[in-house]
Amino acid sequence: MRATVLVRPKQGILDPQGEAVESALGHLGFRVADARVGKVIDLEVDAADAAEAKAQVLRMCEQLLANPLMESYEVEIVG
């Protein structure tokens, strides 16, 4: 099954990459605020159904994909 994981810096955590993006967009003439940069991870999981796939991917997030102190994550099973 195909899964998509979104990993984002938590609110209140400094995000230098987001600040750089915001500043660069401002220099290009765009009016933006509060830019935050995270990761999107797409992967193929070996699972019998969507529920099992989601449970597996949540464990991957806890063990590797996200740093729970600084990042939040969201898992979507695409099918």
Which residues are near its own copies by CB under 8 A?
Answer: 6-8, 18, 21-22, 24-25, 28, 30-46, 56, 59-60, 63-65
CB closer to its own copies, 22 vs 69: 22
C-alpha span between 44 and 4 (Å, rounded): 9
Which residues sit opposite 5 in a β-bridge?
Answer: 41, 75
Q: How far is the CB of 71 from its own copies (least distance, A)?
A: 11
Closer to its own copies at the Cβ: 44 or 67? 44
Q: Which of 63, 67, 65 lies closest to 3, judged by CA?
A: 65
Work out the number of other CB atoms within 10 angstroms of the CB of residue 57.
Answer: 23
Least spacing, CB of residue 69 vs its own copies, in Å: 19
Q: CB 44 → its own copies: shortest distance, Å?
A: 4
